[in-house]
Amino acid sequence: MRRTLALVAGLVVFAAPRASLAAEPAAAAPVYPKPKAPTRSWNYVPEWNRVTWSSQSVIRYNPLGLQEMFELGYERRLFDTTNILFKESFVGLAFTPIITPAFVNPAITLRVQPMAIWRFDLRAGAAQYFGNFNLLQSWEKAETATFADSELKEQGARAPDKPKESYATTGSNYSIINEFRMGLLMDDANRPAIEARNRTWAMYHRMNLQPGDTVWYDQYFDLLAPKEGWTVSNDLDVIARFNLKGTSILRVGVRYNWAKSYIDGNTREDVMDATQRVGPIVAYTLYDEPGGRVNRPTIIGILNWHTQHPYRTGQDVTQALPYIVVGYQVSGDLLQ
The reported pLDDT for the residue numbered 19 is 43
Is the distance from CB of 255 to CB of 307 less than 8 angstroms? Answer: no
User: How confident is the model over 34-46, as a mean pLDDT?
Assistant: 62
Question: Which amino acid appears at position 318 of this protein?
Answer: T
Spatial distance between the Cα atoms of 215 and 225, rounded to a whole number of angstroms: 6
pLDDT of amino acid 335: 86
CB neighbourhood size of 188 (10 A): 6
What pLDDT, on a 0 to 100 scale, did the predictor assign at position 31?
Answer: 53
Half-sphere exposure in the Cβ direction for 179 (13 Å, CA): 18
φ, ψ (nearest 5 deg) of residue 153:
-65, -45
* Average pLDDT over all residues of the chain: 88
**Which pLDDT does position 11 carry in this prediction?**
44
d(CA 63, CA 222): 7
Amino acid identity, position 27? A
Q: Model confidence over 140-185: pLDDT tens digits? A: 999 999 999 999 998 887 767 777 789 999 999 999 999 999 887 7
Residue 128 has pLDDT above 50, yes or no: yes
pLDDT value of residue 44: 83
What mean pLDDT do residues 309-320 have?
Answer: 97
309: closest CA among 263, 276, 266?
276
Q: What pTM was estimated for this model as a whole? A: 0.85
What is the predicted pLDDT for the residue at 209?
A: 96
CA angle centred on 335, ends 331 and 336, rounded to 5°: 80
What would the mean pLDDT of 36-65 be, rounded to a whole number?
85
pLDDT band at 17 (very low <50, low <70, confident <90, very high): very low
User: CA 262, CA 185: separation in Å to the nearest integer?
Assistant: 37
Q: Which of 237, 100, 136 is nearest to 181 (CA)?
A: 237
Confidence of residue 190 (pLDDT cuts 50, 70, 90): low
Higher pLDDT, 1 or 177: 177
Q: How confident is the model at residue 15 (pLDDT cuts 50, 70, 90)?
A: very low
Q: How confident is the model at residue 22 (pLDDT cuts 50, 70, 90)?
A: very low
- pLDDT for 313 equals 97
- 196-253 pLDDT, tens digit per residue, is 999 999 999 999 999 999 999 999 999 999 999 999 999 999 999 998 988 899 999 9
pLDDT score of 55 = 98
Over 80: is that where the pLDDT of 73 sits? yes
Quick: pLDDT tens for 76-112: 999 999 998 899 999 999 999 999 999 999 999 999 9
Please tell me which residue, 36 or 174, carries the higher pLDDT value. Answer: 174
Enumerate domains of the chain plus CATH numbers.
39-333 (2.40.160.40)
Looking at residue 323, the DSSP 8-state letter turns out to be: E
